[in-house]
Amino acid sequence: MRKINLNDKLSQIHDHWHPRIVAELNDSYVKLVKIEGEFVWHHHETEDELFLVLSGELTIQFRDRDVVLHEGEIIVVPHGVEHCPLARGEVSMLLLEPKSTLNTGTERNERTAEAEWI
């Protein structure tokens, strides 16, 4: 058991859309990521995703509506739901998702990134 300083870990991330693993819990990873701009529309067949905004403002676009998250707010996107994260400025986030989760869901493209430990 060890404590993890999220601010220290975030200071080591200098790119966008590349999740970093900071801990594991049961069959899930706790990840940190910095994002800016629009991601890709995608869904996850079997994995739910938890997004926690640590700094900035994140919009999760759904086909029928948008949900705006501010610092300290979370949303859980259920598996099978198509979504597209959008950050108009830099956003730092914590993600909690099963170890099998690929950031682009069922699609593989230029934004697909395998999460690495930091």
For the segment 64-98, what is each residue's pLDDT rounded down to a tens digit?
A: 999 999 999 999 999 999 999 999 999 999 999 98
Q: Look at residue 1 and tell me if it is in a domain.
A: no
Comparing 18-22, 93-97, 106-110, the range with the smallest average pLDDT is 106-110
Nearest CA to 9 out of 28, 35, 34 is that of 34
Q: Look at residue 96 and tell me if it is in a domain.
A: yes
Q: Look at residue 63 and tell me if it is in a domain.
A: yes
User: pLDDT band at 102, cuts 50/70/90?
Assistant: confident
Q: Residue 91: beta bridge partners? A: 35
User: pLDDT band at 114, cuts 50/70/90?
Assistant: confident
pLDDT at 15 over 90: yes
For residue 26, give the 3-state DSSP assignment.
coil
Q: Look at residue 59 and tell me if it is in a domain.
A: yes
Residue 52's alpha-carbon distances to 27, 55, 60, 106, in angstroms, are 19, 9, 12, 22
Measured between alpha carbons, how far is 23 from 69 in angstroms, rounded to an integer?
Answer: 23
Total-model pTM: 0.91
- The share of the chain scoring above pLDDT 70, in percent, equals 100
Q: Look at residue 32 and tell me if it is in a domain.
A: yes
Strand 20-25 and strand 116-117: pairing?
parallel
Q: What is the CATH number of the domain that holds 82?
A: 2.60.120.10
Domain hosting residue 80, numbered range? 6-117
> How many domains are there within the chain?
1
